[in-house]
Amino acid sequence: MGGYLHLIPLAPAAGFLINGLIGRKLSKRLVGLVACGAVLLSFVLSVAAVMELAGMPAEHRVLETRAATWIPFMDAGGGAPSLALDWVFVLDPLSAVMVLIVTGVGFLIHVYSIGYMHEEPGYWRYFTYLNLFMAMMLTLVLGGSLPVMFVGWEGVGLCSYLLIGYYYWKTDCADAGRKAFITNRIGDLAFVIGALVLFAHFGTLEFGPLLAGATSGGASTALLTTVGICLFIGACGKSAQVPLYVWLPDAMAGPTPVSALIHAATMVTAGVYMVCRLAPMYAMAPVALTLIAVVGAATALFAATIGIAQNDIKKVLAYSTVSQLGYMFLAAGVGAYSAAIFHLMTHAFFKALLFLGSGAVIHALHHEQDMMKMGGLKKKLPVTYAVFLCGWVAIAGMPPTSGFFSKDEILWKSYLWSPVIWAVAAATALITAFYMTRLMGLTFWGKSRMDHHTEAHVHEVPGVMKWPLVVLAVLSLVGGFLNVPASLGGGERLHHWLEPAFSAKTYAAGEVHHEEAADPHAAGAAGHAGSAATEYGLMALAVVLGAGMLLFGWNLYNKHPERAAAWRGRFAGVHNVLKNKYWVDELYDAVLIQPFYQLCRIAAWLDVKVVDGAVNAVRNVTVGTSYFSVFWDTWIVDGLVNLVGRVFMGSSSVLRRVQTGLTQSYASAMVLGVFVMICIYMYVS
Amino acid sequence: MNGIPSSHILVLSLILFSVGLAGVLIRRNIIIMLMGIELMLNAANINFVAFSRQLGDLAGQVFAVFTIVVAAGEVAVGLAILIALFSNKDTINIDQINIMKG
Amino acid sequence: MTGSAFIFYLLSAVAVISAVMVVTRRNAVHSALFLVLTFFCVAGIYVVLAAEFLAAVQVLVYAGGIVVLYLFVIMLVPQHAPLKAPPMRHMVGALMLAGLLAGALITFFWDAPEVAPVPAAAATTPAGNIETVGMELYQRYLLPFEVASLLLLVAMIAPVILARRRI
């Protein structure tokens, strides 16, 4: 059963290979077809798998595929592997939701890209990277163990880098890609440390056994808290929470569909997914969850405030994404995991819609991204305007859009946990409504501020870009009905579907008496602590305030646009701070980057002076000793040889005198010899 | 037999030999050198005869005959060499026949 | 002293003196003549020592042949500066050497034990010296005899070739 899960990431991987190897030679049409076809195949397989999953009874909803052994760790004795790292893919309710979102939205964005990237250089390269991204993201969500998930985690980071720096010849794009990768890496370090601690303690990193061990008291709270915080830091890097969010606004330098897919709908949600995946473990570490909630809330508010003062349309949406991700983490931190996933889903719909819509605007205005140079596009881009309206009301949380249901769920659950946190979240919601309205106002309403040349060439999107927008718009509007809360008479279908994935019961091996009801941290524990009245009240408050903000903004930008400029002047100081994003990047540069460069300079100095110096010193020593060698060779070695020669010459010049050439001297010598012999003979005998 | 002790004859032969030797070593005229050699040969002959007389064996005298034969041959060849040498070098001074010097 | 002893010593003295003359004369012809005298003395000594055949051969070959040969050659070859001969090379050294050798040998031989001479019976065979020598020569020493003749053949041809004039 479920032996085909590995095919889901493999389809886009195949697309990556085909386009990567021969895409350059293929026609644009074929490249797009291969890429979109691969993702469509993944989507179909995912639907089939989820349907199979749905057919199973709720307590045992797990499909597992063990594709191959990755690292067989051997016993010290060389026997059978004591444990093995497998390519294991798991489909449970949580990953089912994720995989449908990823493949569905991914497919829509692929189709959109065919139109958007048509005139861009390196068309095949774009789709190659995009397919690789899909493969990696699917590995991440379908991964059945932390290492497999980590492969996907790293892979999407790589693709993010590749796609942000898609226009690699532009310095700011390349720099943004690098910034993303490095910031991610810092988070990844913490992730790996957490994973290794878990491995050291439990001996396995597969989610089933791991969560079973964690929930059955296999590790101390301190350990789980530490691990939880480490993994969350990794999630901060990937999902752009404070303090590792700085890469996301810069990442807007990449093509707009990339921003939509990676930096809104899928990759940045990986952190949220990871926390929710390990929910039973986090349930054992309330301190970590508190940290997550606080960081999430703070990020949400912080990013929203920056979003007010940005002029680049994509930057506004980027900060909005950071803020909404903060919401998701807030939800996870208060224990409302299904709310987090619900918001993840709705956010994927409307944020992707907003990004693709902004892409349409940018495309229409010939790559103009400054909202100050837009305006009055309502009439010129009707379809785009229509879909933008859908996204606008969804993100502002107006009923009955999907955004309303998901955001409201989060607000309610955070109120139950702590009213302070609720206040922060509510404030963020108001600010969100405001800046989105500002975006609408500057872009579509009011008078046109475009220059005449651009204005003349404004054109609506082609069909291939239109249909994904429409689909996403529809989803943004009706997607919320998946999880209407009980208080409004809904069936909370998504919540019930996801429940087993977050419950320790699913993982406990036979220890049934652990209920999540005993978790004091979870919101709504010990029965619904909050009354229905409070819920309705808060809901109404949020809607009214939100609607009020929308109307206020509508009025401001439609009727009295000059007031906005006046307020900018009046609150110039605050506006300046927000516009400069609290100078966080500059702070990081001064505190971290420059000292690091200084360190690099020192290292370079060391290398030149010390290392090279040592090498040169060796050289000098060698040269110096070579003089000695020369001396030795010339005077002693050669000297010996010469000495031998001279000895022979000297002795020969002496002995040569024997050869007088005179017969008589030879005769004398003979006589002398005879004489000696006679003497010997005489005295011996 | 004659009352001459063999040792006296040997002394005689020795003296003659020495004189011949001195002549060979001292004189530079090649002809005189060859004469010195003849003296030495004669001295040897006297020696042979002395022992032949003492031991009563005629082998000594026979040998002396052969010695004379050889001496004769040697003189002939030696003087021929001298003539050849002279026609080449135009000198009979042995000091000037020193091509093998060095 | 017996008569033959006296003759022996006389002849010895003359031979020695004559030999010294041979090696010391500057005039080569003088040397040759003294050489003849020496040979004759030696022949006489042979007679005294009962080697008559040898004495005859000595006179015939040495005095009669060899010295004549010497004189021929002396005539053929001009004797450069016979009267003012330059000092002899290393005379002292050579004399010393010869003297040394002679001294050594004389010392060795002077006290040599005397072997009793063979009884006179062998020396007074009625056959006489020539006959006995001849018998020895043609019986026991026939081969050396023949070889000696071969040697003389060579000694005849060789000078002819060696002293040839090359044209």
A537 with A662, same domain?
no
CA distance A472 to A208: 35
What pLDDT is recorded for position C121?
43
DSSP string, C27-91: SHHHHHHHHHHHHHHHHHHHHHTT-HHHHHHIIIIIIIIIHHHHHHHHHHS--SSSSSPPPPTTH
What pLDDT is recorded for position A515?
38
Higher pLDDT, A542 or A322: A322
Q: Do A662 and C89 touch (CB under 8 A)?
A: yes
Over 90: is that where the pLDDT of A189 sits? yes
Residue A312 has what DSSP assignment? B
Q: Which of A672, A678, A679 sits opposite C97 (nearest CB)?
A: A672
CA distance A411 to A342: 13
Residue C54 lies in a domain: yes
C60 touches chain B (CB under 8 A): no
Q: Do C98 and A672 touch (CB under 8 A)?
A: no
The H-assigned helical ranges of chain B are 6-26, 30-55, 59-89
At what angle are helices A572-579 and A561-570 packed, to 10 degrees? 90
Over 80: is that where the pLDDT of A68 sits? no
What pLDDT is recorded for position A1?
43
B50 touches chain C (CB under 8 A): yes
Q: Do C54 and B65 touch (CB under 8 A)?
A: yes
Residue B13 lies in a domain: yes
C72 with C134, same domain?
no
- For C85, other C-beta atoms within 10 Å of its C-beta total 15
A563 with A627, same domain?
no
C7 with C73, same domain?
yes
**Residues on chain C touching A671 (C-beta within 8 angstroms):** 97-98, 101
CA distance B82 to A83: 113
Residue A52 lies in a domain: no
A451 with A354, same domain?
yes
- Give the confidence band of A467 by pLDDT, cuts at 50, 70, 90: confident
**Residues on chain C touching A672 (C-beta within 8 angstroms):** 97
CATH code where residue C8 lies: 1.20.120.1200
CA distance C33 to C27: 10
β A83-91/A63-73 pair status: antiparallel
| Domain range enclosing B57 | 6-95
Residue A516 lies in a domain: yes
C105 touches chain B (CB under 8 A): yes
Over 50: is that where the pLDDT of A244 sits? yes
Over 80: is that where the pLDDT of A524 sits? no
What pLDDT is recorded for position C105?
79
Q: What type of residue sits at position A233?
A: I
CATH code where residue B84 lies: 1.10.287.3510
Read off the pLDDT of each residue in C5-24 and give the average, rounded to a whole number.
Answer: 93
A565 with A615, same domain?
no
Give chain B's domain count. Answer: 1
A551 with A611, same domain?
no
What pLDDT is recorded for position A525?
40
Q: Which of C93, C98, C104 sits opposite A678 (nearest CB)?
A: C104
Portion of chain A with pLDDT greater than 90, in percent: 22
Q: Tokens for B19?
A: 């004189």
Contacts of A462 (CB under 8 A, 6+ apart): A115
Residue A26 lies in a domain: no
Over 60: is that where the pLDDT of B67 sits? yes
Q: Do A668 and C100 touch (CB under 8 A)?
A: no
Q: Which chains sit next to A, with 3 or more Cβ pairs under 8 A?
A: B, C
Q: Do A664 and C90 touch (CB under 8 A)?
A: yes
pTM > 0.95: no
Residue A268 lies in a domain: yes
Read off the pLDDT of each residue in A349-356 and give the average, rounded to a whole number.
Answer: 91
What pLDDT is recorded for position A502?
78
Interface of A with C (CB under 8 A): 662, 664-665, 668, 671-672, 674-675, 678-679, 682
DSSP string, A230-280: HHHHHHHHHTT-TTS-THHHHGGGS-HHHHHIIIIISGGGHHHHHHHHTHH
Residue C103 lies in a domain: no
**Residues on chain C touching B72 (C-beta within 8 angstroms):** 61-62, 65-66, 152, 155
**Residues on chain B touching C54 (C-beta within 8 angstroms):** 45, 49, 61, 64-65, 68
A555 with A466, same domain?
yes
End-to-end CA distance of chain B: 55
Nearest CA in chain A to C102: A675
Residue C94 lies in a domain: no
**Residues on chain A touching B17 (C-beta within 8 angstroms):** none
This complex has an ipTM of: 0.91
DSSP string, A28-69: HHHHHHHHHHHHHHHHHHHHHHHHHHHTS-GGG--EEEEEEE
Contacts of B64 (CB under 8 A, 6+ apart): B45, B48, B49, B52, C51, C54
**Alpha-carbon gap: B23 to the closest alpha carbon of chain A (Å):** 10
Task: Using alpha carbons, list the distances in angstroms from residue A585 to A101, A241, A580, C119.
Answer: 32, 14, 9, 146
Ramachandran sector of residue A248 (left: φ over 0; alpha: ψ -120 to 50; beta: rest): alpha
Residue C48 lies in a domain: yes
Residue C108 lies in a domain: no
A488 with A556, same domain?
yes
Q: Do B94 and A662 touch (CB under 8 A)?
A: yes
Q: Which of B24, B26, B95 sits opposite A662 (nearest CB)?
A: B95
- Give the confidence band of A76 by pLDDT, cuts at 50, 70, 90: low
Read off the pLDDT of each residue in A127-140 and give the average, rounded to a whole number.
Answer: 92
| Domain range enclosing A639 | 607-666
A640 with A545, same domain?
no
Residue B101 lies in a domain: no
Residue C88 lies in a domain: no
- Phi, psi (deg, nearest 5) at residue A31: -60, -50
Higher pLDDT, A560 or A415: A415
Give chain C's domain count. Answer: 2
Q: Note the pLDDT tens digit of each residue in C47-101.
A: 999 899 999 999 999 999 999 999 999 998 877 654 445 555 567 777 888 888 8
Give chain A's domain count. Answer: 2
Over 90: is that where the pLDDT of C111 sits? no
Nearest CA in chain A to B27: A664
Residue C91 lies in a domain: no
CA distance C144 to C138: 10
Task: Using alpha carbons, list the distances in angstroms from residue A303 to A206, A232, A381, A514, A606.
Answer: 35, 19, 29, 38, 42
A563 with A647, same domain?
no
A174 SS3 class: helix
Contacts of A663 (CB under 8 A, 6+ apart): B33, B94, B97
| Domain range enclosing C5 | 1-78
**Alpha-carbon gap: A641 to the closest alpha carbon of chain B (Å):** 25
Q: Which chains sit next to B, with 3 or more Cβ pairs under 8 A?
A: A, C
C71 with C139, same domain?
no
**Cis bond before residue C87 (omega within 30° of 0):** no
Residue C3 lies in a domain: yes
